Chains A and B, each alone.
Chain A
């Protein structure tokens, strides 16, 4: 099922795909920033536990 779709996508995206800056990546940005926040909070959680047991 996907073969035709891929070909079509390849055709009409060949020109601008190379340039990532044209992509709409709002959602991606939100997800990675959420991920970053999670890393930050978890790390400090562990660090506080470490200090607490010092």
Chain B
């Protein structure tokens, strides 16, 4: 093996290991595990019988870790609710379910980007710190009306600080 080849392979694999360590630390210590990980089941045909998804939207949370729970129902070809206001600075647990096929729940310009599959609840924990309007799209092909699936999150001033 050439000396330079040894150096290159060490530097290359070393960088990969550094990346992995950073990702691991970010996942374990900062709670940035990949979106929607874990298994929570729900029957896609009886989604509405679940209290959380009967009338999806923003609800105050009982959990100390969160200010709000935000529930979405995805179905061909719309999101419910079609618009939601969230106070700035809120700590929110987002949960999305599908009543039919696979959808892709993406809040544009945020890290909220996860698959929604029939039979499972997709959960993501996040903070809404920046005021603004965020477009929600479906990013997994779900049929002819795929691009009609939109919703909006409006992050408005006067949020969590006022609550506490």
Direct contact between the two chains A and B in their complex (CB within 8 A): yes
Determine if A20 and B8 form an interchain contact, defined as CB atoms under 8 angstroms apart.
no
List the count of A-B residue pairs having beta carbons below 8 Å apart: 38
Which of B11-19, B46-54, B60-68, B92-100 is the interface stretch?
B11-19
How many residues of chain A have a CB within 8 Å of chain B?
Answer: 17
Determine if A33 and B11 form an interchain contact, defined as CB atoms under 8 angstroms apart.
yes
Determine if B22 and A21 form an interchain contact, defined as CB atoms under 8 angstroms apart.
no
- The CA of A28 and the CA of B110, in the complex, are separated in Å by 40
Give the contacts of A1-54 with B (CB-CB under 8 A): 20-21, 23, 25-26, 28-29, 32-33, 36, 39-40, 43, 47, 50, 53-54
Taking each of B4, B11, B109, B110, which has the highest tally of chain A beta carbons within 10 Å of its own beta carbon? Answer: B4
How many residues of chain B have a CB within 8 Å of chain A?
Answer: 18
| Sampled A-B contacts (26; CB under 8 Å) | A20-B2, A20-B5, A21-B2, A23-B2, A25-B2, A25-B4, A25-B5, A26-B4, A28-B4, A29-B4, A29-B7, A29-B8, A32-B8, A32-B12, A33-B8, A33-B11, A36-B8, A36-B15, A39-B12, A40-B15, A43-B15, A47-B22, A53-B110, A53-B111, A54-B111, A54-B127
Task: Spell out A's residues near B (CB within 8 Å).
Answer: 20-21, 23, 25-26, 28-29, 32-33, 36, 39-40, 43, 47, 50, 53-54
